[in-house]
């Protein structure tokens, strides 16, 4: 016969957490979540199948604090019961998970409580899905079977999907420093050394004028950035060709094409085995717009850009030495970044100029992250679109002819993938 299950130490989460089939109609269950959002429990009031019935419940538990694109791995425990009075009567219980499926048949005389355990994974949409079925179609008389509860306890997470989005979102903002996207469109041939703290950078940039409005820009930098669930360090280099229409001063269209390459070492935060891996970043970008003179000392520049990126990830392992074991194969993610930007620049005195920049855009992931999870199999997930803003400010001072110092701040923030900011300084030598 059915025995009630009692959960303690849990906070009421609401009965909307499970999408019901005929075995668990609305109002016949409670879903609860622990204070640390690591454990979820579904208590059924009347999930029972009687003789002649097949009863099913589709369990869909929304997760708290698990970003979309992250795969959660859980130990699932199900409590059930079976009562068959007549010898020879048959019945069965089955559980279909995003992981290990469970199925057991019974032949009466049976009167027992049942306990099933499996490893399951969320689907990347921050939901645990499971289907429980009690088949009493061959039973007779007072025979009955059912489920009392389902509990899901987190074992670990696969965050690569959201980590990739954070890397491409924020590293792109820093990489644009290397081709002078935060400075004047034109200038003398020059080389510069710069450094920044916060999201740390240390590198060099250069500009070489090719004539007829064309210039070659580039740079290379050591870089270190930290995000919510990962951090990266390595070397990033960029090169671009820029065209600014010559011979005009009040309205100057421009166009730019460039390439960025990076070698990165990535460490994943809060992993039981301090997991890390190597990544290769490659991207191409197109940028265009126009600079317009507001008066004798100030200009505004409006532009749009598109960037295609590929991020290659070496395989790595996540494990706690127990039930949580995930093998991440070698894989490549592909991304599109679209952005609109604006900047204002003013020549305050002959030797001092200032500039402020802002941009907004979106980043789209085109590839699924692939994880091979022990007890589950292959699970894929794709991070949702990232909306982001970028900002920056710069002040420059000409300390002597051909010699200049600059101070800058710049950063980016995303709706789902954290924030990065840095403050830095540069010395530029023109010739």
CATH of the domain at 43: 2.60.120
**Among 409, 405, 380, 382, CA closest to 394:** 409
pLDDT at 14 over 60: no
Same domain for 43 and 183, yes or no, is: no
Provide the whole-model pTM.
0.87
Please tell me the total count of domains within the chain: 2
Q: Is 108 part of any domain?
A: yes
Domain co-membership, 19 together with 110: yes
Q: Domain check: are 251 and 145 in the same one?
A: no
Domain extent at residue 397: 160-430
Residue at a domain's end among 98, 132, 158: 158
Quick one: CA torsion of 37, 365, 343, 183, rounded to 10 degrees?
Answer: 110
Q: What is the pLDDT of residue 88?
A: 81
In a domain, 6, yes or no: no
User: Same domain, yes or no, for 182 and 145?
Assistant: no
135, part of any domain: yes
**Between 124 and 189, residue with greater pLDDT:** 189
CATH of the domain at 290: 2.40.128.130
pLDDT digits (tens, 9 = 90+) for 109-159: 899 999 999 999 997 888 998 899 999 999 999 999 999 999 999 999 999
Is the model's pLDDT at 263 over the cut of 80?
Answer: yes
Task: Among 110, 136, 158, give the residue marking a domain's end.
Answer: 158
Is residue 16 within 8 Å of 29, Cβ to Cβ? no
Nearest Cα residue to 129 out of 18, 55, 276: 18
Of residues 248 and 361, the one with the higher pLDDT is 361
CB 339 within 8 A of CB 285: no
Average pLDDT over residues 362-391: 94
Q: Are residues 164 and 132 in the same domain?
A: no
Alpha-carbon distance 246 to 82, whole Å?
Answer: 85
Q: Which tops the pLDDT comparison, 235 or 181?
A: 235
């Amino acid at each position: 016969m059915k025995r009630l299950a009692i959960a303690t130490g849990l906070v009421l989460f609401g009965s909307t957490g499970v999408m019901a089939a005929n075995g668990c109609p609305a109002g016949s269950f409670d879903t609860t979540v622990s204070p640390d959002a690591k454990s979820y429990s579904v208590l059924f009031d009347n999930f029972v199948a009687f003789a002649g019935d097949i009863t099913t419940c589709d369990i869909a538990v929304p997760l708290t604090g698990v970003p979309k694109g992250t795969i959660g791995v859980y130990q699932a425990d199900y409590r059930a019961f079976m009562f068959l009075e007549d010898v020879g009567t048959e019945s069965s219980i089955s559980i279909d998970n995003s992981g290990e499926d469970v199925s057991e048949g019974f032949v009466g005389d049976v009167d027992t409580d049942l306990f099933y355990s499996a490893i399951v994974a969320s689907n990347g949409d921050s939901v645990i899905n499971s289907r429980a079925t009690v088949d009493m179609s061959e039973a007779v008389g007072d025979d009955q079977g059912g489920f009392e509860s389902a509990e899901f306890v987190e074992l670990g997470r696969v965050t690569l999907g959201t980590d990739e989005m954070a890397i491409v979102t924020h590293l792109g903002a820093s990489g644009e420093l290397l081709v002078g996207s935060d400075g004047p469109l034109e200038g003398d041939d020059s080389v510069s050394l710069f450094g920044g703290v916060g999201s740390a950078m240390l590198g060099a940039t250069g500009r070489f004028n090719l004539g007829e409005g064309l210039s070659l820009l580039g740079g290379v930098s050591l870089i270190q950035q930290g995000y919510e669930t990962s951090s990266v360090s390595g070397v990033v280099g960029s090169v671009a060709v820029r065209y600014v229409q010559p011979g005009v001063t009040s309205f100057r269209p421009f166009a730019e094409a460039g390439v960025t390459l990076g070698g990165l070492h990535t460490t994943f935060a809060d992993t039981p085995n301090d997991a890390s891996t190597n990544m290769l970043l490659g991207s191409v970008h197109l940028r265009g717009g126009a600079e317009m003179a507001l008066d004798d000392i100030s200009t505004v520049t409006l532009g749009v850009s598109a960037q295609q990126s590929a991020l290659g990830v070496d395989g790595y392992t996540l494990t706690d030495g127990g039930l949580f074991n995930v093998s991440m194969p070698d894989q490549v993610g592909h991304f599109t970044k679209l952005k609109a930007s604006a900047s204002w620049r003013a020549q305050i005195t002959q030797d001092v100029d200032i500039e402020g920049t802002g941009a907004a855009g979106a980043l789209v992931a085109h590839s699924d992250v692939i994880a091979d999870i022990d007890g589950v199999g292959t699970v894929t997930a794709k991070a949702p679109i990232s909306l982001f803003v970028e900002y920056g400010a710069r002040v420059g001072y000409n300390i002597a002819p051909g010699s200049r110092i600059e101070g800058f701040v710049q950063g980016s923030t995303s709706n789902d993938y954290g924030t990065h900011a840095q403050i830095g300084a540069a010395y530029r030598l023109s010739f």
